[in-house]
Amino acid sequence: MTRISIVFLLFVALTVTVSAQNKAIASGEKLTYTASYNMSGVLTDIAQVTMEASEVKTSKATLLKLKCTAATYSKWDNFFKIRDLYESYVNPTNLTPYLYNRDVNEGNYFKNMKYTFSHGTNTVKSVMKRKNNFVENKNLKINSGTKDIVSTLYYMRILDYKNMSVGTKKTFTILFDKEEIKGMITYLGKETISTAIGKKECYKLAVGSSETNVLQGKNNNFLWLTADENKVIVYGKFKIPVGNGELKIKSASGLKN
C-alpha cells in the first residue's frame, strides 16, 4: 500500500514523448478523480486525485504550473494516510519541464524530491530530502526528451491520436526516483464509455512498462482519453504487484476547448 498513489500517477503517465504543441491544456483547468483499489476482492474508493493547471510568471518567462495531489478519504486515514504532492513547471507551448517538485507523505514515510532540468546539456540537478535532516544532492545525465512524471502525464494529452493508426506503439522515458523508466503505449482505437461527466467517445490506450515493480502483465492496464480537443483522462484500469484498481473522473472544470 505504501506506493499506491505513486502507481496511480505512474500508470496514467506511461506514454510517448515526441514533439507536439499544446492545444488542449490551459491555466484554470481542474480535474478531480476517485482512485479505487481492490481490497479483499471488493473494489473500494480510497483516495481522491486532483490535477490543476495554473499560470506562473517569473522574471524571465511565463510558465504553466501542473499540480497533482493524492489524498486518502478521511475514513481510511487511520488505516493508511496519504497526502502526496507532485508539481511540474513547464513551457506552456510544448510542456517541456524546467522544475519538478514531489512531496510524499504516506503513513510514517516522507520524501521530498526536486529536479532542475538543463535541457541544453541533458542534465538534471536532483535534491532529495528525508526525515532527520537528510539531504542528498546529485547531478544526473538524462536522454533528450526525458520528462518528469507530471509533465509526461499532461504531455500525453497533446499527442495526435486522431491520425494514429490502430495498433500503433509508442515509447517514452520518465525520470522517477533518479532513474529513467521505459514504457510503451499501444493505441487500440475508439470506445464510448459512460463517466461522471457524461457519455464520452474516447481514445483507448494499452499501457506497459519494463519496470516490473510498477505495472503487471499484458492486457491489464488501460487508459481512456476523451476523443475531443481536450483529451481528458476519464478512466483507467491498472494491475500492480499488490493488486489492481481503477481511476475514475469525478469532475472537470476550466477546460480549454
pLDDT tens, residue by residue, 131-156:
888 999 999 999 999 999 899 889 88
Q: Which residue has the cell 538524462?
A: 142
pLDDT band at 210 (very low <50, low <70, confident <90, very high): low
Is residue 20 within 8 Å of residue 172, measured between CB atoms?
no
Distance CA 56, CA 40 (A): 44
pLDDT at 240: 66
Distance CA 103, CA 124 (A): 18
pLDDT tops 70 at residue 171: yes
**What is the signed CA dihedral for 94, 86, 242, 205, rounded to 10 degrees?**
-20
Distance CA 48, CA 37 (A): 12
Overall domain count for the chain: 1
pLDDT tops 60 at residue 214: no
Angle at 56 between CA 54 and CA 62, to 5 degrees: 115
Listed range (43-47, 137-141, 167-171, 232-236) with the worst mean pLDDT: 167-171
What is the pLDDT averaged over residues 46-65?
95
Q: What are the pLDDT digits (tens) for 180-209?
A: 988 778 899 999 999 999 999 999 998 876
pLDDT tops 50 at residue 59: yes
pLDDT tops 80 at residue 6: no
Tell me the CATH number at 176.
2.40.360
pLDDT at 66: 98
Q: What are the pLDDT digits (tens) for 104-128?
A: 998 888 999 999 999 999 999 999 9
Beta strands in the chain (DSSP E): 30-39, 42-57, 62-72, 83-90, 97-106, 109-118, 123-130, 134-141, 147-148, 169-176, 179-195, 198-209, 222-226, 233-240, 243-253
Give the range with max mean pLDDT: 3-17, 34-48, 53-67.
53-67
Domain that holds residue 238: 4-253
95 phi-psi bin (left φ>0, alpha ψ -120 to 50, beta other):
left
Q: Which tops the pLDDT comparison, 248 or 78?
A: 248
pLDDT tops 60 at residue 218: no
Angle at 233 between CA 200 and CA 75, to 5 degrees: 105
Is residue 252 within 8 Å of residue 232, measured between CB atoms?
yes
pLDDT at 69: 97
pLDDT tops 50 at residue 16: no
